[in-house]
A and B are shown apart, each in its own frame.
Chain A
Amino acid sequence: MRQDDGITGGKQAAGSVEHDPLWHELVALLPAADPVPPEIALIGRSSFSWRTIDAELAELAYDSVGASPVGLRGSDGPRQLTFVAPSVTIELQVVPVGERRQLLGLLVPARDARVVVRHHDGIAAVQTDETGRFEVEDLAPGPGSLRCQMVGNEGGAPVVTDWVNL
């Protein structure tokens, strides 16, 4: 039996759960049983050093991994990512090569650009060809983001992609 209609919002929802001793056991138990591991708590702090200033953000618009249902065995083929910025779209294929990754990228519209892969493992820099394509070999898996500086527009804003787990 409902005590009140707490479903319309507010911090306390109605229902018998708040009177359930098991719920109160969990409320007391969870923070003690699983505190944030210190290493995890430190991860966020160091992220700030990757901040870019005045860059154009190419947001993740499509990820083929997210498109497949959990529980279904996906193919071992390349993962397809699309990042969209106001001035350019970046298509990226992430090809597994053993435990490592190969990146095959395309700037649309085709642009002459210097592409830097920002990665915890270091930085890799490549150049696009005349069709706007680029390739990065032998990357370690893990968080990565691309930073594209258009050639001929070195004073202009670079384009950076949303960080993803490569």
Chain B
Amino acid sequence: MDAEELSSLVGAAADGDGHAWEALVDHFSGLVWSVVGAYGLTWADAADVTQVTWLRLVEHLGRLRDPTRLGAWLVTTTRRECLDRLRAANRESPAGNERSFENLEFGGPSPEMRMLQSERESLVWRAFRQLGDRCQELIRVLILTQPALSYQEVADALEMPIGSIGPTRARCLDELRRRLGSGVSTGF
């Protein structure tokens, strides 16, 4: 979807076009999920955060400063709601710290949906889910929002300096590699 098409859909939805709205939701649901899924939220909280994000957009459609940056707007809104959810639930989620296995699955999609083909994929996925929120969020947003968001938009949306994306990502990958390397045979 190019900028012109996006702008046009936002304008149409602001004027009450339900089909335009649905096209926006369908296009950006993956992007919203890329953020929500990074945090160890319960299923109910994940649904609430998603709902608040979309509901808030409904009233902001005609007020967006730059409709072509809707993707970044959604990422920022979603992550702030996720952080508020964690604060409100009095949960500790310091950036970069380890997670317990209890937080890994929030009882959402059924195991069959994770169409993992190999033991290696399962290991990588499990190790990835053990990374801190910031690492998961950054990697998920970088991978799952392409090509919707440029690196500048990712930086803005995640409220981090663009110069720190590269080093942070590298550090996260190093940690992932460390976790995978400890006691796991590659056989690969």
Contact = CB atoms under 8 A, between A and B. Distances in A.
A joins B in a complex: yes
Contact of A25 (B108, B114, B124): B124
Interface residues of B, number: 70
B54 A165 contact: no
Interface residues of A, number: 57
Contacts of B109: 34-35, 37
B183 interface: no
Chain B interface mostly helix, strand, loop or mixed? helix
Contacts of B180: 22
A34 B114 contact: yes
Interface in A13-49: 13-17, 20, 22-23, 25-27, 29-37, 39-41, 43-45, 47-48
A66 B80 CA distance: 8
Interface string B86-119: 1110101110000000000000110001111000
Interface of A: 6-7, 9-11, 13-17, 20, 22-23, 25-27, 29-37, 39-41, 43-45, 47-48, 50-53, 55, 57, 63, 65-66, 68, 70-71, 73-74, 79, 120, 142-143, 145, 160, 162-165
20 contacts: A9-B150, A9-B162, A11-B151, A14-B166, A17-B169, A30-B143, A32-B121, A33-B116, A34-B37, A35-B113, A40-B33, A41-B29, A44-B32, A44-B50, A44-B54, A51-B58, A66-B80, A66-B87, A74-B88, A143-B55
